[in-house]
């Protein structure tokens, strides 16, 4: 089988490595892939949002199946377009990807189907949004409606911060069209859990739970990033919490999407907050999470391609999805200054042991050698019997990943280890 994978980050690298374990896989093309992915797939310089380019490539090459991994091509209808030329895909069509593409859509869906989430209001008029803020409880959360590279969420600790966020989004042009509509929602507190789930639109099979580490600095301080590390499973996600999430959130969401005529097929990501009133949805993503995928897929015992095909074909009910009982930890190495100002172009080297455990997020090949090409550069994952061992091993292995001005958080997994006690 020849597979086309759309995307080019650490998540896609983890997906490609897992797909390669299936002996029927012959060729994997990554569009665009990256310098590190090139060791595991054939990279083709077509951008993940160049839908016409992706469709042309698929027409001209013997592609049997496509995995569309990032949010933007999904929201732009990449799956719809590939289906039109007869290529089956893993990933939702645009009418279902909207669950991530529009926060207003997601919030309205949850309200309509009584799925627990933060209380909220949607605004398209700036004056109304500002007027609402005058007596809104503080802290409050201001979100740009559309995709904003994870940067469209402001936790406002004061009323003035909330006003500034609304003004920036609605007239500052900072988020373009994504900010024309804003959602203002209740500030929730509690541990966060990520749950990725396979679904064929009818049946949903949650994967092992995980925990992202979104802030740039140790102790969850500093700016929000694309994720500085992850661990799985998440110790806050007990059996009892899992049961409630399944009944109150996962199944109702899948049923709601089906009922709305937007059946969701692919990986649905639930960003959950475990509040004192029970689990609530912080966000839905229409895809695998990054860096959660880099800890979840290494724990998967079932064959990824078989499960993906079952999602596409609507046969997930009779396809087992199994995970190991072990623990995984992924440590991200980024360029100093990320997520704001950082340099690219540093030579990246990895010892053979480190390379085997590392997914490359931001590097390209120049004259056959890897150089950094992004803020987040690598993610190194270790799987061990205990979380403490996985954390220690991930740090040990990542010491074999080297580039100038590299930095990583020193405390990935610490919160989870404390929770285990």
Residues 262-321 that bind ligand AMP (CB under 6 A): 271, 282-283
- Examine residue 155 and tell whether it contacts ligand AMP (CB under 6 A): yes
Size of the site for ligand AMP (CB under 6 A): 14
Do the bridges between strand 229-232 and strand 266-275 make them parallel or antiparallel, or are there none, so unpaired?
Answer: unpaired
Distance CA 54, CA 94 (A): 16
Q: Considering CB distances under 5 to 8 angstroms, the limit depending on partner class, which of ligand GLY, ligand AMP, none binds residue 141? A: ligand AMP
- Examine residue 227 and tell whether it contacts ligand GLY (CB under 6 A): yes
Residues 152, 154, 160, 163, CA torsion sign? positive
- Examine residue 290 and tell whether it contacts ligand GLY (CB under 6 A): yes
- Examine residue 132 and tell whether it contacts ligand AMP (CB under 6 A): no
- Examine residue 187 and tell whether it contacts ligand AMP (CB under 6 A): yes
Q: What is the DSSP letter of 118?
A: -
CB 48 within 8 A of CB 72: yes
Diameter of the chain by CA atoms? Answer: 61
Query: Torsion-angle region of residue 249: left (phi > 0), alpha (psi -120 to 50) or beta?
Result: alpha
Distance CA 13, CA 332 (A): 14
Residue nearest to ligand GLY (CB): 289
Tokens standing for 254?
């899948």
**Measured between alpha carbons, how far apart are the two ends of the chain, in Å?**
46
- Name the residue nearer to ligand AMP (CB basis): 150 or 217: 150
Angle at the Cα of 320 from the Cα atoms of 206 and 322, rounded to 5 degrees: 60
Stretch of residues binding ligand GLY (CB under 6 A), selected from 60-68, 164-172, 287-295, 404-412: 287-295
- Examine residue 294 and tell whether it contacts ligand GLY (CB under 6 A): no
- Examine residue 107 and tell whether it contacts ligand AMP (CB under 6 A): no
- Could you say which of 89, 118, 142, 330 contacts ligand AMP (CB under 6 A)? 118
Q: Considering CB distances under 5 to 8 angstroms, the limit depending on partner class, which of ligand GLY, ligand AMP, none binds residue 408? A: none
- Name the residue nearer to ligand GLY (CB basis): 214 or 327: 214
- Examine residue 289 and tell whether it contacts ligand GLY (CB under 6 A): yes
CB 76 within 8 A of CB 90: no
- Examine residue 285 and tell whether it contacts ligand GLY (CB under 6 A): yes
Distances (CA, A) of 404 to 322, 334, 369, 374, 421: 40, 10, 15, 13, 37
Tell me the residue length of the chain.
Answer: 421
* Contacts with ligand AMP, residue ranges (CB under 6 A): 118, 141, 150, 153, 155, 185-188, 192, 214, 271, 282-283
* Contacts with ligand GLY, residue ranges (CB under 6 A): 150, 212, 227, 285, 289-290, 292
């Amino acid at each position: 089988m020849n597979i086309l994978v759309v995307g080019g980050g650490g998540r896609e690298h983890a997906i490609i490595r897992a797909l390669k374990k299936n002996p029927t896989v012959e060729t994997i093309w990554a569009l665009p892939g990256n310098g590190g992915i090139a060791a595991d797939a054939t990279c083709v310089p077509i951008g993940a949002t160049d839908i016409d380019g992706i469709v042309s490539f698929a027409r001209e090459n013997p592609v049997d199946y496509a995995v569309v991994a990032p949010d933007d091509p999904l929201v732009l209808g990449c799956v719809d377009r590939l289906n039109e030329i007869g290529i089956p895909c893993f990933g939702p069509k645009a009418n279902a990807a909207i669950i991530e593409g529009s926060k207003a859509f997601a919030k309205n869906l949850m309200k309509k189907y009584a799925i627990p989430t933060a209380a909220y209001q949607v605004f398209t008029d700036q004056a109304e949004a500002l007027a609402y803020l005058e007596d809104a409880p503080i802290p409050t959360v201001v979100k740009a409606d559309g995709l904003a590279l994870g940067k469209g969420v402001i936790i406002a600790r004061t009323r003035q911060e909330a006003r500034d966020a609304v003004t920036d989004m609605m007239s500052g042009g900072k988020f373009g069209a994504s900010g024309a509509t804003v959602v203002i929602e209740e500030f929730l507190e509690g541990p966060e859990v990520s749950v990725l789930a396979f679904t064929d639109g009818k049946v949903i099979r949650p994967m092992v739970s995980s925990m992202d580490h979104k802030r740039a600095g140790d102790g969850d301080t500093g700016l929000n990033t694309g994720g500085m590390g992850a661990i799985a499973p998440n110790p806050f996600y007990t059996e009892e919490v899992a049961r409630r999430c399944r009944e109150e959130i996962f199944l109702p969401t899948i049923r709601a999407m089906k009922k709305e005529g937007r059946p969701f097929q692919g990986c649905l990501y639930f960003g959950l907050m475990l509040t004192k009133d029970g689990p609530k949805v912080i966000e839905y993503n229409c895809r695998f999470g990054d860096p959660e995928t880099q800890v979840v897929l290494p724990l998967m015992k079932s064959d990824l391609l078989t499960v993906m095909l079952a999602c596409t074909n609507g046969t997930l009910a009779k396809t087992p999805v199994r995970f190991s009982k072990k623990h995984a930890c992924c440590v991200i190495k980024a360029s100093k200054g990320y997520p704001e100002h950082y340099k690219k172009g540093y030579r990246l080297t990895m010892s053979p042991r480190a390379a085997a455990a590392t997914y490359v997020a931001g590097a390209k090949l120049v004259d056959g050698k890897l150089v950094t090409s992004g803020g987040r550069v690598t993610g190194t994952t270790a799987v061990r019997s205990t979380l403490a061992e996985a954390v220690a091993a991930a740090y040990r292995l990542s010491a074999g990943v080297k580039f100038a001005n590299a930095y990583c958080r020193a405390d990935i997994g610490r919160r989870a280890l404390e929770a285990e006690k």
